[in-house]
Structure 1
């Protein structure tokens, strides 16, 4: 059965669940919190006004490592990666034991395409704090996207053993179970991710794919529709919905959904091949 969840590439809104990873996973505070790549982006945190306010804090306390870490997170949310790196570098220089700043810097390195430095920073964060769940999740996602599934699974498993409340750990482990055909285990993990982030579309898409693989078309269709209601800008959701329409023989609705997926991402392979099938 062809499923569309959990691809390695990270393009526009049809990528792996959590394509907005950077904007959502930066840990500005001292705790990892529930911050997830599957939550709504708080654009205000990267606003010019917020950055100006944080700059004023730094001007008053220029040796406050946490202030640089927080502003670095804001720069990251705004897509200002060079300035984010500079702030995280400063935070680490002021406090070499600042494990959150290492993990935040790792995420910036990842989005600049430097996976080697990203892994090194996650390793350093975990050396400083072996119980830091966010670093296991961040490193695990890097491993997952690189095809290093065993190491990815171990990192997500470790975060879960630490009683993380971060839904990314369960969602990503669910993707690994799904890729191995262990759909019942995947369903459990996607359901846990949904309970932790009920307004996130991605775990519904993931769970729907596993329902479909198990022959539960009705629950799959319900999950895909919920995913679209929560975020209609993800091509994956529309392609998944189209697949159910296609299986039901409703080619007109399938074509509309595949076309909507391609409108969001003209290069989304599953939508291209699906549309070709129903038009053929």
Structure 2
């Protein structure tokens, strides 16, 4: 079995301690980014009202409930979203998309067991549904079941998914295992599928940094900041380059911005403590 299809076991990270800390910091993604994958519908009150009008006219249409549930999820109204997905599944027990969507809401509500059951049911109903593999993979990854997560991302990719999360998240696992050549390839693919997303640039930059390619790493971190200047990780990663270059003043400034954005982001807090004073 090749390294492409199985994780290295017991392999040490080749990066410096600073890079290892940053990699650990980039292993999670926020709910908002994943909720956009439920549906393109915005969760605004105007859209909810429009969707409710559709349901009033078609009270037995499971797709209408699925779409409104997606909008509720986007708007952070998780209980309302669950009610709509429940209704969609009552009307159509084989509605695999609704199972996958409900699983994501369960995840954000902290009910991981129900989320896993729903992902499994979606895959049972449609073994070619890439979104369910990606969602379940994220569930496994955050639970520390790295090999199971890898297998699900791999399966989604084998299904020719165009969802950048599959490549990005598999890249994170390769990166965690020190397989930076594969990680770089996956992050680049994720960027090609979603060029306006900052996260893959951060991931690729860290693998560049781990392999000693500081120039490309710096370019990626700067691009991540350009795409979204409100992500603490991006500023902390930029600061890593300044710190490696010996420019503590610029490093401290970037770390400070990261701490301002997220006072609990430990790589930034620790970095600011190391570089404060700028000497």
Q: Same fold (TM over 0.5)?
A: yes
Equivalent residue for 2:247? 250
| Structure 2 CA distance for partners of 1:139 and 1:121, relative to 1, 3 Å | same
Does residue 239 in structure 1 map to residue 239 in structure 2? no
Does residue 199 in structure 1 map to residue 211 in structure 2? no
| Structure 2 CA distance for partners of 1:121 and 1:65, relative to 1, 3 Å | same
Equivalent residue for 1:31? none
Instruction: Deviation per CA, 1:75-123: give whole Å up to 9, x if none.
Output: 0000000000000000000000000000000000000001110000000
Equivalent residue for 2:128? 131
The offset of 1:15, in angstroms, is: 6.9
The secondary structure found in structure 1 opposite 2:36 is: helix
Q: How does 1:13-92 map to 2 (within 5 A)?
A: 16-26=28-38, 28=39, 45-92=42-89
Does residue 168 in structure 1 map to residue 180 in structure 2? no
The secondary structure found in structure 1 opposite 2:250 is: helix
Instruction: Deviation per CA, 1:238-269: give whole Å up to 9, x if none.
Output: 00000100010111110110000000100000
Does residue 186 in structure 1 map to residue 183 in structure 2? yes
Contact 1:5-1:205 at 8 Å conserved across structures: no
Equivalent residue for 1:157? 154
Larger Rg: 2
Instruction: Deviation per CA, 1:37-96: give whole Å up to 9, x if none.
Output: xxxxx7x71111110000000000000000000000000000000000000000000000
d(CA) in 2 for partners of 1:235 and 1:20? 16
Match of 1:218 among 215, 218, 233: 215
Contact 1:6-1:175 at 8 Å conserved across structures: no
The secondary structure found in structure 2 opposite 1:46 is: coil
Instruction: Deviation per CA, 1:184-217: give whole Å up to 9, x if none.
Output: 0000000000000000000000000000000000
The offset of 1:19, in angstroms, is: 4.5
In angstroms, what is the RMSD of aligned CA positions?
A: 1.4
d(CA) in 1 for partners of 2:270 and 2:30? 23
d(CA) in 2 for partners of 1:173 and 1:129? 22
d(CA) in 2 for partners of 1:80 and 1:278? 42
Contact 1:5-1:16 at 8 Å conserved across structures: no
Contact 2:43-2:73 at 8 Å conserved across structures: yes
Contact 2:32-2:74 at 8 Å conserved across structures: no
The offset of 1:6, in angstroms, is: 5.7
Contact 2:35-2:74 at 8 Å conserved across structures: yes
TM-score, normalised by the number of residues in structure 1: 0.90
Equivalent residue for 1:144? 141
| Structure 2 CA distance for partners of 1:200 and 1:22, relative to 1, 3 Å | closer
TM-score, normalised by the number of residues in structure 2: 0.90
d(CA) in 1 for partners of 2:146 and 2:274? 32
Match of 1:106 among 80, 103, 106: 103
d(CA) in 2 for partners of 1:51 and 1:146? 33
